[in-house]
DNA sequence: GAGTTAAGTGACCCCTGGTCATTCGTCAAG
DNA sequence: CTTGACGAATGACCAGGGGTCACTTAACTC
């Protein structure tokens, strides 16, 4: 007697969620490469083949997960940006962005994998849907940024978001390293290579904003 | 009759170079995942097993390649920073850094893979040697940066280098995308997601420096 | 020329993503 | 309640790529 079969659309959606949750839990404990599709299946008490009924490839599974996390993060950030009103200081804004990423390690780790791994083995359609969603959320963020930082032009706002994205992925990779690298960086003189994600991101965004303001 | 055997250390070093060159050529044409160790072997007219006499894992091979490219790039950059004298403008410095990366796509692509892929399946010793080298080159760059930009503190210089590193890897990933993503980004309204590596890096570094100067 | 060393070889192993013929749970019609 | 049909779930199987190792043989020494 296997698991109940998902025949209605809502049941299928629920099963899809279970798979995403399993993938997430496994990814949080290890790394993309170490998560096996067989593990994802086992965690949901399904057969491996079943996982592939819901996601055509491993990359598609994780891109779908990233899609969810990204949507959630943008909603959170945009909510906080819309919250207060009037102009903000560069530092206040930088802190808000950095704070919105606290506890979102999974999101930034996946984001860092997006171009190099996740979009490698995925359909054009899935990529398009994903990027379409990013575009919408980004647009909303750009508008909010201009409200909070009057010195920003529309073009500035777009560029700023791209630069923050680059910093997020770059810093996450530097902060969230393989065990081997972690061991090496423990050495005292390696301090200049150690990265505190939140602190560095806050500093970098603050500096970027001050640079735009000073122009 | 196989290939001549490398018995002297210099012959082994030459063979090692051949393997690195082959790996580089294949990587430039495709991607890390698409380069097969069997291809590297074929390109050097050696057997697959032989490649593993020189590099214990695929990741070790590419980390060694990155090691070379990184050393070469830092030498080039430091040379240019040492070239002129007196103080530079923020923009001049940003342009110098960005220009030093022109034609170094292979280097930045590998750099972007460093933490997420290359350091995953490599010995502590190789990682340590690699990071030790980074540390030395970074130190030299920090000193030169302070000479060119009098408003930088020593701490600023270190942080700036980390932020530029993050921007380099982040922007490279955004600019250098999978064919599927490239197709999607061709759509006109996707413009805000398209990234010109050199232009964006120049802009970001300029802004960062202005921000530090304005403080 | 014989002996010794170790570079080179490639058949083989193993693991993991992905497939598909088959099984069987679920539901609607009679 | 029984039956037929649909299609969700299964897991044995396949493909192919990283990595191994017993064996071969080039190259050097005496």
Tens of pLDDT, residue by residue over A2-51, are 678 988 899 999 999 999 999 999 999 999 999 999 999 999 999 999 99
The candidate with the shortest Cα–Cα distance to B211, out of A15, A68, A215, is A215
pTM of full prediction above 0.85: yes
pLDDT for A1 beyond 60: no
Question: What is the separation of C-alpha B97 from the centre of its chain, rounded to a whole number of angstroms?
Answer: 13
Asked if the Cβ of residue A42 lies within 7 A of any atom of strand D, the reply is no
Q: Which of A32, A110, A118, A163 to mutate to test the interface with B (most CBs of B within 10 A)?
A: A163
Burial class (CB in 10 A: 0-12, 13-18, 19+), B52: middle
B59 — alpha (psi -120 to 50), left (phi > 0) or beta? alpha
For residues B193 and B202, is the Cβ–Cβ distance under 8 A? Answer: no
Query: Is pLDDT at A59 greater than 90 in this prediction?
Result: yes
Residues of chain B contacting residue A178, judged by C-beta atoms under 8 Å apart:
115, 119-120
CB-based contact B174 A166, cutoff 8 Å: yes
Tokens (6 digits) for A161: 């978001």
| Cα distance between residue B8 and residue B10, in whole Å | 5
% chain B with pLDDT above 70 = 99
Cβ-defined contact of A207 to B203 (cutoff 8 Å): no
Question: Which chain A residues have a beta carbon less than 8 Å from that of B178?
Answer: 115, 119-120
Summarised one tens digit per residue, pLDDT across range B150-194 is 999 999 999 999 999 999 999 999 999 999 999 999 999 999 999
Q: Tokens 């009103």 — which residue?
A: A85
Cα–Cα distances in angstroms (integers) from residue B106 to residues A123, B65, B145, in the given order: 26, 10, 25
User: Cα A102 to the chain's mean position, in Å?
Assistant: 12
Which residues of B fall within a CB distance of 8 Å from A33?
Answer: 120
For residue A137, the model assigns a pLDDT of 96
- Phi-psi category of residue B86: left, alpha or beta, with phi > 0 → left and psi -120 to 50 → alpha: left
Q: How far apart are CA A209 and CA A152, in angstroms?
A: 9
Q: Which of A123, A163, A177 sits opposite B115 (nearest CB)?
A: A177
Is residue A7 classed exposed, middle or buried when 0-12, 13-18 and 19+ CB atoms within 10 A define those classes? exposed
Nucleotide nearest to A39 (CA to C1'): C16
Number of H helices, E strands in chain B: 10, 0
- CB contacts of B214 in chain A (<8 Å) are 210-211, 213-214
CA distance B63 to B58: 9
Largest CA-CA distance found in chain A, in angstroms, rounded? 69
A192-CA/D7-C1' distance, Å: 58
**N- to C-terminal Cα separation, chain B:** 69
Q: How far is the CA of A6 from the C1' of C29 (A)?
A: 22
10 Å CB burial of residue B149 (0-12, 13-18, 19+) is buried
């Amino acid at each position: 007697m296997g698991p109940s079969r998902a025949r209605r659309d809502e049941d299928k959606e629920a099963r899809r969620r279970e798979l995403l949750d399993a993938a997430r839990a496994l990814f949080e404990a290890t790394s993309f490469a170490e998560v096996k599709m067989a593990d994802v299946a086992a965690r949901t008490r399904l057969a491996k083949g079943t996982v592939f009924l819901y996601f055509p490839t491993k990359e598609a599974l994780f891109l779908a997960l990233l899609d969810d996390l990204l949507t959630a993060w943008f909603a959170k950030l945009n909510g906080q940006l819309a919250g207060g009103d009037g102009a903000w200081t560069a530092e206040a804004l930088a802190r808000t962005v950095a704070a919105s990423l606290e506890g979102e390690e999974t999101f930034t780790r996946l984001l860092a994998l997006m171009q190099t791994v996740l979009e490698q083995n995925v359909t054009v359609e899935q990529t398009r849907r994903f990027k379409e969603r990013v575009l919408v959320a980004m647009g909303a963020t750009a508008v909010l940024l201009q409200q909070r930082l009057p010195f920003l032009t529309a073009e500035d706002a777009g560029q700023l978001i791209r630069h923050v994205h680059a910093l997020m992925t770059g810093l996450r990779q530097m902060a969230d390293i393989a065990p081997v690298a972690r061991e090496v960086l423990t050495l005292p003189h390696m301090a200049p290579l150690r990265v505190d994600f939140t602190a560095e991101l806050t500093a970098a965004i603050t500096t970027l904003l001050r640079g735009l303001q000073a122009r």
